[in-house]
Amino acid sequence: MAAFPFEIKATEGKARTGVLRTPRGDIRTPAFMPVGTAATVKAMTVDQVKDTGADIILGNTYHLMLRPSAERVHRLGGLHKFMRWDKPILTDSGGFQVMSLSGISKLTEEAVTFSSHVDGSKHVLTPERSIEIQADLLGSDIVMQLDECVAWPAEEARARKGMELSARWAQRSKDAFGTRDSQALFGIQQGSTFENLRRESSDRLREIGFDGYAIGGLAVGEGHEAMCEVLDYAPGMLPEDRPRYLMGVGKPIDLVEAVARGVDMFDCVLPTRSGRHGQAWTWDGPINLKNAKFAEDESPLDPDSDCPASRDYSKAYLRHLFKAEEILGQVLLSWHNIAFFQALTAAMRAAIEEGRFEQFRRDFRARHLNAG
């Protein structure tokens, strides 16, 4: 019996909409999780994030364990109280960040040892320690197993080595997590772009048994088309009755195409990162507000949006803020982008429920496939 009930409400092809029910609130799927790397969604208050319609956010284990430290967050009442967010939080395991620091990390069967990018101090992260940080110290609602994310491109032998280590760490993560009613543990499918490895990874995860399943090792440079080729088969290898989470994705077109292939949950830093650099995501694709053509454009980003940042400020004003290097520009555009991603997932949920998702997908592809 999984910790959190997952109800699939409607399907169209492989696309599906549902609800993951947690003690801190329901998560409507497809769901986009804004990334709160260091206990903050950059440039936004938690009330702004809530007002966009977000049901869940993501916290970053690696950054929090280094600063202010997981132990300090625990002493201060846990991550929810610390950042004043009372809805669900998913934390990643820390593995992706550690692996990306390959120049200052060492991987063994037992653990990964690395140097802090903050102060150079040495740290050891095992599957057991990752579970302790997420579940016991931070108090996460959804906890991720520690895995190895292999860089792309990878030879099959290297991808197999990473997949097999991730599978062994999945079992250790499950053993350390045990059984909990108020928290869930997700396993992570690995295997790079090799279908046989993805299948073997899925089989091993299913044998262990998790509350949800993630698709890892994508959005690491392989590109949209290669990612979609993997998603043609990878989600279907995972249990139909549990949520499927595509990690680190991505652009709006990536979300739509992944939902069409059976994915339920996403996270990405793109909305706020784009917002800090003057890029706004819209229904017609991304626009760069630093361009001179917006200097006297009095229209808002989206007059029909419920988000004040999208509806109440002109493109001319937003451009002025960026040209003047005013912080408010980053705040407003990050707010708009998060609201757009939430509106996109809401639109997909409605389209699936009403049996018109395929038409929605075709229309969206026509506007976004080669944009951004």
Q: What confidence tier does 372 reach under pLDDT thresholds 50, 70, 90?
A: low
- How many angstroms separate the Cα of 89 from the Cα of each of 74, 77, 267, 354, 364? 15, 15, 12, 29, 29
Both tokens assigned to 71: 């132990």
Alpha helices in the chain (DSSP H): 46-51, 61-66, 70-75, 79-83, 95-100, 127-131, 156-177, 195-208, 224-231, 252-259, 270-276, 308-311, 315-323, 327-353, 357-368
pLDDT cut 90: percent of the chain above it? 92
Cα 241 to Cα 238: distance, rounded to the nearest angstrom: 9
Would you say residue 371 has pLDDT above 90? no
Token code pair at residue 207: 């044998």
Average pLDDT of 198-204?
A: 98
Residue appearing with tokens 């706004």: 280
Question: For 58-70, b where at least 16 C-beta lie within 10 A, e where not — what string?
Answer: bbbbbbbbbeeeb
CB distance 115 to 122 below 8 Å: yes
pTM of the model: 0.97
Active site (catalytic) residues: 92, 267
Do 302 and 310 meet the contact criterion of CB atoms below 8 Å apart? Answer: yes
> How does pLDDT run across 73-116, given as a tens digit for each residue?
999 999 999 999 999 999 999 888 877 765 668 899 999 998 88
- Listed by start position, the domains of the chain span 6-98+124-268, 275-363
What was the pLDDT predicted at 94? 86
Residue with tokens 């939430």, as numbered in its chain: 342
As a whole number, mean pLDDT of residues 329-337 equals 98
Q: Which fold has domain 6-98+124-268?
A: TIM Barrel (3.20.20)
The alpha carbon dihedral of 135, 138, 142, 148 has a sign of negative
pLDDT tens, residue by residue, 232-282: 999 999 999 999 999 999 999 999 999 999 999 999 999 999 999 999 999
Type of residue found at 170: A
Task: Provide the angle, in degrees to the nearest 10, between the axes of the packed helices 252-259 and 224-231.
Answer: 20
Q: What is the pLDDT of residue 95?
A: 80
Closest among 307, 296, 240 to 271, alpha carbons compared: 307
Please give the pLDDT value at position 100: 77
Contact 210, 241 (CB under 8 A): no
Tell me the three state secondary structure of residue 155: coil
Alpha helical stretches, state H, 67-141: 70-75, 79-83, 95-100, 127-131
For residue 102, the model assigns a pLDDT of: 59
Q: CA-CA distance, 150 to 158, in Å (whole number)?
A: 8
Structure tokens at 351: 């389209």
- Tokens 């492989």 identify what position? 14
Instruction: Tell me how far apart the alpha carbons of residues 114 and 125 are, in angstroms, rounded to a whole number.
Output: 8
